[in-house]
Amino acid sequence: MLTNSSSFLKKAHKGNYAIGGFNVNNMELLQAIVKAGIEKKSPLIIQTSQGAIEYAGMELIGAMVHSISKDVSIPIAFHLDHGTNVDLVKEAIQSGFYTSVMIDASSKPFNENVKITREIVKLAHKKGIWVEAELGAIPGKEDQVNVNEANAFFTDPEEAGTFVEMTGCDALAISIGTKHGVFKYSKGKAKLDIKRLLEIKKHTNVPLVLHGASEIPRELKKIVEQYGADLSDAFGVSPSTLKKAITNGINKVNTDSDLRIAFTGGVDRYMTKHPNNMDPRKYLAAGRDATRKAVARRIDQLGSAGKA
């Protein structure tokens, strides 16, 4: 059923585990995520970036999410990811599709970020919509905005406390060392600033969100590399590092890149084995199944299995 994530995120906050925020752009990714959620009896946050809306349309994706959620017993929230365009965030709030939105004014100076976030929180709360905001800058491609390493900065714990208090946001995305995209850490796995996370946790009382958290698993890399990709320079957040982050206060973990690699690998494998296949359903189903497995693995890592 479609539900506001506030109830299950509060439980995750108390229970010290995390819920996955999984990005979708099309029907197959959506079906894969929901199937994995059902198998694992896990609550889900399905999310669309501004780029996903540009690709598929808010109404079409929204209608698909509402339709698929109606027939399942696990709680599913529908979330706008990285809303940097204030007009689009307002449109999402008014649309009736989303149960939560992220306003991402993290590229703006602190006071402006507070002002924009507060305005969105007011509008969203009137409609019972939950709001995620961001403080600190996470490097990599954040939706259509590219945050380079030089412009990235970690979240300041005291500022985080003040920010949450001043804006009334319901969850906070923080920068503690992760990076968006497939190519995160060319020289190895991420090192997260867990001390900073603990300090942020001390100063805030809302669920904390980890973006750019994909693992870029070796097994998935190997599959796409069989078909010509070169991901030798792509590394993500190891399961043990992710576990540390969750144990120490992260309650929502965003994953997009791992699903993209899984889907692409599934399609590559199918089409290489069946080069004369001209039925898109065949290779899309292969991509869908590979993605389902990647989501199930992720749910196990987050500790949300059996929490629906």
Helix (H) or strand (E) holding 126: helix 110-126
- Tell me, yes or no, if 81 is annotated catalytic: yes
Task: Examine residue 51 and tell whether it contacts ligand G3H (CB under 6 A).
Answer: yes
Q: Whole-angstrom Cα distance, residue 264 to residue 269?
A: 9
For residue 50, the SS3 value is helix
Task: Examine residue 211 and tell whether it contacts Zn ion (CB under 5 A).
Answer: yes
Q: Whole-angstrom Cα distance, residue 9 to residue 18?
A: 8
Task: Examine residue 221 and tell whether it contacts ligand 13P (CB under 6 A).
Answer: no
> H-type helices in 216-279, by residue range?
218-226, 239-247, 257-273
Among the listed residues 81, 143, 170, 268, the single catalytic one is: 81
By CB under 6 A, what part of segment 164-203 binds ligand 13P?
A: 180-181
Contact 100, 80 (CB under 8 A): yes
Map residues 242-271 to x or -, x wherever contact with Zn ion holds by CB under 5 A.
------------x-----------------
Task: Examine residue 257 and tell whether it contacts ligand 13P (CB under 6 A).
Answer: yes
Q: Which does 255 bind (CB under 5 to 8 A by kind): Zn ion, ligand 13P, ligand G3H, none?
A: ligand 13P
Q: How many CA atoms lie within 13 A of 279 on its CB side?
A: 5
**CA 127 centroid distance within chain:** 23
The least CB distance from residue 126 to ligand 13P, in Å, is 25
Report the chain's C-alpha Rg in angstroms: 18
Task: Examine residue 79 and tell whether it contacts ligand G3H (CB under 6 A).
Answer: no
Task: Examine residue 265 and tell whether it contacts ligand 13P (CB under 6 A).
Answer: no
Residues labelled as active-site residues:
81
Which residues of this chain interact with ligand 13P, rule CB under 6 A?
23, 81-82, 180-181, 211-214, 254-257
